[in-house]
Structure 1
């Protein structure tokens, strides 16, 4: 890390470049700067420099460098970020280079499953088991840690640490906020099952009395690609009502998960539409969800047999019209078999014709005339297999190809997050706003990198090709994105880009 005086000079240079309107400086301030409008102060530019170095604020960076020394403080911060993000290869690399980095840092020793050191530090100060370390207490640091996937041989040590924490009054139902400025609580059980995919610790927590009805765990257990977490939660009394878990399982056309949830009492017409943690739900009512996620006819029939209402209107559209708009023939036929299907409106008919590949006059539909449920239609379908031509027809029809969704994500950002270079490449030909920053604070570059670590289908996608497209389109390089990249191939590509940009 650079000396503090150099970082201060960097803040002054950023201020000068930003006031001059230089594109990269403007983007850096959009990503890391203050969210409220108003006159920017020197402290705001220092804040951006600190965030780009991996610190929450300039005072925290300054304190760390004064207490730990420049190089060590930077390495410790990188290790904290790597552990927090589950970037095990970075964690291994940092520990190999400087094995004593975690020394004296209790939460880090917990997350790294260092049983001997945790026991020693608890004997020295038992209150450490319930102290705050950042936004989390030790039980949360343990639950959210993904280190067990790098070191499965430490399973016994992990459970011993859990026992030690509880013996020193840690709570298996402890929670932490989503992040700074977002107080929505996330439980230790969610951390183990939904975040870390740690079934061993999840089972231990349930056996120790963790509440399976925490509002998060059941929903996220449907995302894991297996049913172990879902099965154990239901076995310990998890109730599907109000969780949207059934609807999330439909994102993956997962018949077994849906059947398990229906058997556990899930109501297919139950939809919790309230915002959670500042986000609107990523799901919608069951038959609409089946239509837009291109679920098959068997899924639709399962829902209908369980009592799903085929006539329910959601945001101005019925399940039948939604199936037509998305081109989901199987869900369409399942609803038609019941009879009494509604007539399509002129807008619905035009959208259905576009889905079916029919010819339509250009600019026939105005964005403002769309039903609310179709407002983000391009963004909603672009990740589905074989939808590029469908997207092209929707753009020709008059839909906005650069419209941000409720979270501020634009279609090109979603295509990058999904790792779809063909879709992203075509959207780039429409000259979208490459400086747009979504509600998560991500520009196009950061969104692609985030998708490389979090997109459920990332193993089959090509995020490096998307980075290449962004680079060729003139998206500016950001060193802080490289520092946070968790996938090795993505980090390697960004390192090459950094060399060229320097």
Structure 2
């Protein structure tokens, strides 16, 4: 590599200036790679892309990664490779291995996470204890289970399972786990890694068939987040007990009738109250009918819960399911409850909140936040992630709700909207004088929360996290220097890199990424 990043960036700026000045040659260079811009003119990111392509790379992030890693020593590259396998950044994995295929040699965590069976077998021939030794923060079975390499290399499934067999034959434990954080007793199992972290049903099946405990306080709950029922069905078939896991309320979050039916058929109790989460975080869950009401679930799910014994008139957190349905604007569930003979009486504060949901409130309607139950104080935070609720939230703010009040985990509506990638909702809350430097209980800033959402939000493929990041940056939030490097979604990485180029004064050396 002969040019530095600064030189490459200057090349992109020079190309942009030449195009703006009408230089025919420059325009031909760009048009040879890009189609005409959809809105007016090319952006700086477009010129960075052209420079990358002319340099032999598919994208600017790929070129940037190549330049950044060129100066790394071998240990740094191995550390970066471990990070990429755990977090699911195939571009980084491919680049590092293409530059130096020998990086995994002698490195147990890398050999395991890459499914290099022969390389691991050679190590075990010399050192049989390598299969059970701690390679912080995990032992080999968990390095295997938490590797996301299978997502980009599905053809290596046989090698992955052969690696699992090899580790087991040398004493590895299928129920292995490690602390979720250095200062906690809460542990994450290999089974959770396969299901909740890597979405790897094939390895999950292998673990269960070889004796992994399906009741690890994490896997069943997170299996409902995968977007498919395979892992959930697998766990239930191997004896997972839904009681006390909060899996049923989580399945209701996604309005997934098939998951709800499976859980109920395998013993989930729709009247079960909130169970403390083993990590210590608030669970935010309530009995299933209340959950269906406040998550705007379908009438079909409400009927399914009632068929399995859900109490239509139970009070929880100060409200009946019917009151929840009306306050949250879930008319479909409210109608089902009425037909089931549920209690339909409302308190005075509930009646005011119902008018906000229905859009029948008057200018005289005000809510005394001191007079409503604790759950209703979080109403904005409960609504913000559901599409079509913006007008409802605006009415609540007009009635006295604080638009910047956070939920139990310190997530204000603005952070929640950003994590969800909901641009219109985020734009509204940006106008409500928020604290742009607020750090939530997860340790996230507004920008890092948006980036995390771009990688983890279940609806991320139909939302616009890049636009949310743009809105936050336009308001002046700091951009950590390493944000683009550690963003695993290529488009987000490219956007952040471009912003850093165009707004160098906004870049800070340190910061949450």
**TM-score interval w.r.t. the shorter chain?**
0.7 to 0.9
Distance 1:155 1:308 in 2: 42
Which of 114, 117, 120 aligns to 2:116? It is 114
- After superposition, the C-alpha distances for 1:324-372 in whole angstroms (9 at most, x for unaligned) are 1100001111111133524212211111111111133367113333311
Alignment correspondent of 1:262: 264
CA distance in 1, matches of 2:332, 2:464: 29
| 2:430 matches 1:428 | yes
In 2, Cα distance between equivalents of 1:173 and 1:307:
35
Work out the CA distance in 2 between the residues paired with 1:424 and 1:315: 28
8 Å contact 2:312–2:342 — kept in the other structure? Answer: no
Query: Match of 2:482, SS?
Result: helix
1:19 matched residue in structure 2: none
What is the correspondence of 1:6-405 to structure 2 with a 5 Å cutoff? 71-339=73-341, 341-361=343-363, 364-405=366-407
CA contact (8 A) 2:338 2:344 kept: no
Partners of 1:351 and 1:452 in 2: CA distance = 32
Which is worse superposed, 386-395 or 97-106? 97-106
- 2:432 maps to 1:417: no
Instruction: Report the CA distance between 1:70 and its aligned residue.
Output: 5.5
Which deviates more from structure 2 when the two are superposed, residues 188-197 or residues 81-90?
81-90
Q: Does the aligned pair in 2 maintain the 1:350–1:360 contact within 8 Å?
A: no
Q: Distance in 2 between matches of 1:361 and 1:346?
A: 17
2:274–2:284 Cα contact (<8 Å) kept: no
Q: Aligned match of 2:473 in 471, 474, 477?
A: 471
Structure 2 distance, partners of 1:294, 1:89, is 38
Q: Is the contact between residue 381 and residue 416 of structure 2 (CA under 8 Å) also seen in structure 1? A: yes
Q: How many angstroms apart in 2 are the aligned matches of 1:229 and 1:74?
A: 35
TM superposition shift of 1:374: 1.4
Change (3 A) 1:362 1:490: farther
Find the residue that maps to 1:369 and give its secondary structure: coil
8 Å CA contact 2:322–2:342 kept in 1: the answer is no
Larger RCO, structures 1/2 (Cα 8 Å, 6+ apart): 1
**CA distance in 1: counterparts of 2:400 and 2:364, whole angstroms:** 7
Question: How far apart are residue 85 of structure 1 and its match?
Answer: 1.4
The RMSD of aligned alpha carbons is 1.6
Q: Is the 8 A contact 2:313 2:342 kept in 1?
A: no
User: Aligned to 1:301, what secondary structure does the other structure show?
Assistant: helix
SS at match of 1:268: coil
Aligned length: 434
CA distance in 2, matches of 1:124, 1:172: 23
Larger mean CA deviation between 83-92 and 433-442 belongs to 83-92
Cα distance in 2 between the residues matched to 1:282 and 1:117:
46
3-state SS of 1:233 partner? helix
User: 1:52-98, CA deviations, whole angstroms, 9 ceiling, x for partnerless residues?
Assistant: xxxxxxxxxxxxxxxxx954343333222222212222222232233
CA contact 2:242–2:248 (8 Å) conserved in 1? yes
Of the three residues 492, 495, 498, the one matched with 2:497 is 495
**In 1, Cα distance between equivalents of 2:342 and 2:220:** 36
Displacement of 1:373 after TM fit? 1.5
What is the DSSP-based 3-state SS (H/G/I as helix, E as strand, rest coil) of the residue aligned with 2:179?
Answer: strand
Deviation sequence 1:212-268 (CA, Å, 0-9, x none)? 111211111111111111112111111111111111111111111111111112111
Contact 2:405 2:412 in 1 (8 A): yes
Q: Give yes or no for contact 2:82–2:109 (8 Å, CA) kept in 1.
A: no
TM-score where L is the length of structure 2 = 0.82
Partner-residue secondary structure (3-state), 1:104:
coil
Q: Which aligned runs of 4 or more in structure 1 are off by greater than 6 angstroms?
A: none
Does residue 461 (structure 1) correspond to residue 459 (structure 2)? The answer is: no
